[in-house]
Chain A
């Protein structure tokens, strides 16, 4: 699986949009971009994933650049409950047995009043 690079930490004011970047310059054509987050002492929570088109769900939007070498997760109106570590993961969805998820160190997002 391709390696990802994320900033170690970011701050965001409550009510503002949080834009979390991720670089995955060695991504292959059959690799998806997944985002998870982990609130302190809890299990990782799935947020969103995409292949090449931008995606939106009730939690967030995912913007993937045309060359697919980077992506941005957008939380449109951050709240204090969005304070967490956010992980960007690139994953092959293969035809064999299940592929594991490789979590890096992620971005620690701190939402403040």
Chain B
């Protein structure tokens, strides 16, 4: 079975803090993705990576950065958290043309 894990299920941070969200997959997938999900807006792609050290912006990259130093790990970084970044964050991975498999999600609250 494909396993995608995320470092935290729930996270509470203060405005201005630097936040790291970690995602690990165990299927040797080339592609990894970060989405955020908000009520009424569906899933929106923040960034994705198609190889180690390679990344591309998604639809809403502002305020975020990413890091992929190893194939199995993809990190999402909020450089200075703001209240409008309160959301559910979902990581996914896939082979190059394959089905995306999602992690359990991290619900982030920025106060």
Q: How far is the CA of A97 from the CA of B30 in the complex (A)?
A: 10
Residues of B within 8 A of A (CB-CB), count: 27
- A103/B43 in contact, CB under 8 A: yes
Residues in B whose Cβ lies below 8 Å from that of A100? 33, 45, 48, 58-59
- The SS class assigned to the B binding surface is strand
Kindly state whether residue A101 has any CB partner on chain B within 8 Å.
Answer: yes
16 new A-B contacts, CB < 8 A, other than A36-B102, A46-B99, are: A41-B105, A43-B4, A43-B90, A43-B103, A44-B102, A46-B100, A46-B101, A49-B99, A94-B97, A98-B30, A98-B50, A98-B96, A101-B100, A103-B37, A103-B43, A104-B42
Binding site for A on B (CB under 8 A): 4, 30-31, 33, 37, 40, 42-43, 45, 48, 50, 56, 58-59, 90, 92, 94, 96-97, 99-105, 107
